[in-house]
Amino acid sequence: MTAPLIDPFARPISYLRVSVTDRCDFRCVYCMAENMTFLPKKELLTLEELDRMCTAFIGLGVRKLRITGGEPLVRRDILTFFQAISRHLDSGALDELTLTTNGSQLERHAADLAACGIKRINVSLDTLDEDKFARVTRWGRLPQVLRGIDAAQKAGLRIKINTVALKGFNEDELFALVDWCAARDMDLTFIEVMPMGDLGGEDRIGQYWSLDDVRAQLATRSPLTDLAERTGGPARYVRMEQTGQKIGFITPLTHNFCESCNRVRLTCTGELYMCLGQEDWADLRKPLRNHPKDDAPLRAAIRAAIARKPKGHDFDYSRQQVAGQMTRHMSHTGG
């Protein structure tokens, strides 16, 4: 029962993304509907259950743990979870504990996160224009996020900015974002918008901006060198030779990144999604709660789920229709 997790395509599963809440203080147009119905509290895993679940995965060979949401830092007492799970960093069982955040709560939590052994974080930020930021997040305030980034850097956290490439929205800010990140010594990764969730009429095809085009535009300013570096996720990196800056591309639509997938996603209700772009999932909450003193059934359920992991997703914008669209919101699985 301690053998590492290997999927049907001989890929070791060493990276777990965990959504600790479906709630968020933003309503980004590509992630959530404006008027969301959130889950009742009793359906969510408690922080103690999340700890037990993550510990089971770590015991089966997971080496990297990324905490997501919704917005993970809006969950009540979430710092106690980070403090508890950091024991696996201290023991050497876990290589990295990190999180993806919208930055809204970083100003008050950054120092405590660093104290838990977190070295780097991802901050989602699609624009540096305050009015556009309010429009894309619906509820967000850019100055609050920028103060959070300041606090995170002051606490010694390494920051990577994640920017969703949105046609007609942030195309004109490409080099402004690149220059801003370079000036602050932050890495930058662009993400293609993914066809997930019914967002009240949002035009997925109209939003889609191919990262092939982003890369071509970047190359007009500086030669780009492909890097072999991998950080455990789906991004592929280049170096802008003019500045030495590292730029990442997550391209689920332009270039399928599934061949080396080493990750699975756990929702805040204990659903394990073996692929972000497929609907198949496994219920891990049931064996967790039905056997509060015995993790063997939970480990068996995890292994059975990994045995169903597909080769890849079906996202496709060809023929001007959103083939492979997922009905669940991005916030449900944590990205």
Annotated binding site for S-adenosyl-L-methionine: 30, 70, 124, 194
SS3 category, 283: strand
- What whole-number distance in Å separates Cα of residue 217 and Cα of residue 201? 29
Among residues 23, 103, 88, 83, the alpha carbon closest in space to that of 56 is found at 88
Among residues 314, 286, 334, the alpha carbon closest in space to that of 162 is found at 334
Q: Which tokens go with 145?
A: 């996020």
H-state helical runs in 155-234: 174-183, 204-207, 211-219
CB 302 within 8 A of CB 255: no
- Residue ranges for the known binding site are 17, 24, 28, 30-31, 66, 70, 100, 124, 160, 194, 258, 261, 263-265, 275
Cβ atoms within 10 Å of 241's Cβ, excluding its own: 11
Among residues 60, 69, 84, the alpha carbon closest in space to that of 17 is found at 69
- Residue ranges for the known binding site for GTP are 17, 66, 100, 160, 263-265
- Residue ranges for the known binding site for [4Fe-4S] cluster are 24, 28, 31, 258, 261, 275
